[in-house]
Structure 1
Amino acid sequence: MKIPPYALLLLATLLWGGNFVIGRAVSGDIPPLTLAFLRWCVAFIVFFPIAYRNLKSEWRMLKENWPIVIILALTGVAAFNTLVYIGLHYTTSINASLMNSSTPIMIYILSFIFLKEKLSKFQLLGTALSLSGVVFIISGGSFASLVDFTFNKGDLIVIVAVFCWSIYSLLVKHYANRLPGQSTFLVTILIGAIMLLPFYIYETMTLSEPIHWQWSTIAAILYVGIFASIIAFLSWNSGVVQLGANKASIYLNFIPVFASIFAVLFLDEKLHAFQIIGGLAVVAGVIVSGRK
């Protein structure tokens, strides 16, 4: 039975929304670099049997674009989720997921700066609207925070993570015809894990408290390594192929919706008015910027 594309896209965003909540839930049990490193180790073990068959025939394409593969591994694998997990030690999963919604806007800005792509009036309007929403969220809806320039450092770390993911997404889009999808993902997972290895070793050697190994911690690692990485990736790609990238991109706005629902249900986080207002501004900006 063929799964409808909208179901695949919703499944991917649901799993990604859960990633923010899981990262916040285990922030007191497992340090962020360890969680990120173990996530990608699990992902590589699970994904290797799926993708290795194509790796030999597609290796030449990867080798020809090796610098790009390295950057993809750095920004999309090593940096993005690691920074998100670090940020979740200081901010809520709702805030982090709302920050993540500004990714399309960040991509527009990077395309304008580095690829010299012109921004339409809708993209300019959408960018201004989304960025105002982001500023409203990280300031907690407080004008005094803007004046004093006192922001939650967790929110700022997540914004850096979004910047890294935007670079990754822009390169994936730009080199889509030159890099094979599954083989590239497999190799970037391996390289990203190798990049994280020395940081993981340093973190484990300098821990003030031992990691709380329990079933919930192991389940969290398996979730982010299998469901939020492999199943979400395969579901999203399949949905994009069937529906098209432009129509599929709007489904990314479901990530903060699912993350907020999970955070309220399982973490007892409170959904504040400034998050709703700022989140609506971010999403509205993305929708406006996508107009032709």
Structure 2
Amino acid sequence: MKIPPYILLVLATLLWGGNFVIGRAVSEDIPPLTLAFLRWCVAFIIFFPIAFHQLKREWRLLKRHWFIVIILSLTGVTAFNTLVYIGLHYTTSINASLMNSSTPIMIYILSFIFLKEKLSKYQLIGTVLSLSGVAFIIMGGSFTRIVHFTFNKGDLIVIAAVLCWSIYSLLIKQYATRLPGQSTFLVTIGLGAMMLFPFSLYETLSSATAIHWEWSTFAAILYVGIFASIIAFLCWNSGVIQLGANKASIYLNFIPVFASIFAVLFLSERLHSFQLIGGLAVVAGVILSGKINKQRLQS
């Protein structure tokens, strides 16, 4: 029985939305670098038997593009998730997921700067609208924070994570026809875990960041390693193949919706008016830019 693409895409975004809430929930029990390291160790163990045969066939191709593969691992596996988990020590999961929704806009900006791709006036409007929403969230709805520079450092760290993911996404787009999907993902996971190991070891040996081993800690590691990494990845890729990248991209806006619902239900976080206003501006800007971009591609 073939699963409809919209179910696969919604499931992927639901699992990714849960990742923000899990990262926040265990922020006092496990340090961020160790959580990221253990996440990718679990993901590698689970994904290895799935992609190993493809990796054997495509190893020479990956070696040919070794530098790009390392950059993909550094930005998409090592830096993005680690920065998100660090940021969640200082900001709410609702804030983090809302700012993550600005990724498409960040990709437009990077494409304009480095690839010299032209932006339509509607894409510019969407970019300004989304970035204004992000700024409003960071300011907590108070413009006085600009004057006093009293921003939440967790929000700024998440913005850095979004920048890393945007670079990763741009490279994936550029090398989509040259790098195989599953074997590339497996290698980037392995490299990412190796990059994170010395930092995780330092955290583990530091008494100030000791891990509190409870059932919830194990459950969180399994969730982010299996559900938020492998299952979400496979569901998303399958949905994109069936529906197409342009139509599938709009489903990413479900991530902050699910994250906000989970945060309110399980973490007792409050959805403030500034988050709602800023989040709507971010999503509206992304939809506007994506819709215009799609029309231009079809014309």
Which residue is 1:105 aligned to? Answer: 105
Q: CA deviation at 1:251?
A: 0.3
2:69 aligned partner, one-letter code = V
1:199 aligned partner, one-letter code = F
Structure 2: distance between partners of 1:167 and 1:141: 29
Structure 2: distance between partners of 1:51 and 1:282: 36
Which residue is 1:127 aligned to? Answer: 127
Which residue is 2:229 aligned to? Answer: 229
The runs of at least 4 aligned residues of structure 1 exceeding 3 Å deviation read: none
Which residue is 2:184 aligned to? Answer: 184
- What stretches of structure 1 of length at least 5 have no aligned partner? none
Q: CA deviation at 1:185?
A: 0.1
Matched, 1:59 2:59: yes
Structure 2: distance between partners of 1:124 and 1:35: 37
Which residue is 1:269 aligned to? Answer: 269
Sequence identity of aligned pairs in percent?
83
- What stretches of structure 2 of length at least 5 have no aligned partner? none
Which residue is 2:157 aligned to? Answer: 157
Which residue is 2:28 aligned to? Answer: 28
Q: CA deviation at 1:274?
A: 0.0
User: Aligned with 1:3: secondary structure?
Assistant: coil
Which residue is 2:205 aligned to? Answer: 205
Q: CA deviation at 1:210?
A: 2.8
Instruction: For 1:68-107, list aligned pairs within 5 A.
Output: 68-107=68-107
TM-score where L is the length of structure 2? 0.97
For the 8 Å contact 2:43–2:226, the answer to whether it is kept is yes
Structure 1: distance between partners of 2:107 and 2:71: 16
Which residue is 1:245 aligned to? Answer: 245
Q: CA deviation at 1:204?
A: 1.1
User: Aligned with 2:177: secondary structure?
Assistant: coil
Structure 2: distance between partners of 1:51 and 1:202: 31
RMSD of equivalent CA atoms: 0.7
2:267 aligned partner, one-letter code = L
Once the two structures are superposed, residues 164-197 of structure 1 have per-residue CA deviations (whole angstroms, 9 ceiling, x without a partner) of 0000000001100000000000000000000001
Q: CA deviation at 1:209?
A: 5.1
Q: CA deviation at 1:202?
A: 1.1
Structure 2: distance between partners of 1:211 and 1:57: 40
Structure 1: distance between partners of 2:263 and 2:285: 24
Count of residue pairs the alignment pairs up: 292
1:146 aligned partner, one-letter code = I
User: Aligned with 1:145: secondary structure?
Assistant: helix
Which residue is 1:174 aligned to? Answer: 174
User: Aligned with 2:207: secondary structure?
Assistant: coil
Q: CA deviation at 1:207?
A: 3.0
